Amino acid sequence: MSYSTTLRALEAAERRRQRDAQRRLRESEREAKERAKLSAIEQAQAEVATFDNRLDALASVHKEQGDVWDWLAIAASLPPPCPSPFVRNEHRAKQCVAVFLGEQIQSSVGLIEQARLQDQ
């Protein structure tokens, strides 16, 4: 065998190896796409099952008996306490008066009243 024949044989073997590698790559990509497609189908089936379960639960709410309410006890109970007023601005004004305006009592009373009105 001559040098050129050996070189051609090596080049042909290299081309065959590259073609096989490309073929395997295409096959693996195709299989990955099929797996992704199956995964998407399985995910869609799971979402459908979840939706069906939620729909069944909503459709059967009227069939389930809820907790018993003691309406007489509710009517006889005291009303809830009123929420405490929001006095953030008033507290801030009092703090400013205590820190900055210790001697000026007249202006501090007006400042506190103005802050109280803002809170309301």
Q: What is the pLDDT along the chain (120 residues), one digit of tens a residue?
A: 687 888 888 899 999 988 888 888 888 888 888 888 888 888 888 899 999 999 988 888 788 777 888 999 999 999 888 887 778 878 888 777 777 766 566 667 777 777 888 877
H helix or E strand, kind and range, residue 92: helix 88-99
Domain extents for the chain?
A: 3-63, 86-120
- pTM (2 d.p.): 0.35
Distance CA 21, CA 34 (A): 20
Spatial distance between the Cα atoms of 79 and 15, rounded to a whole number of angstroms: 89
Q: Distance between CA atoms of 104 and 108, rounded to whole angstroms?
A: 6
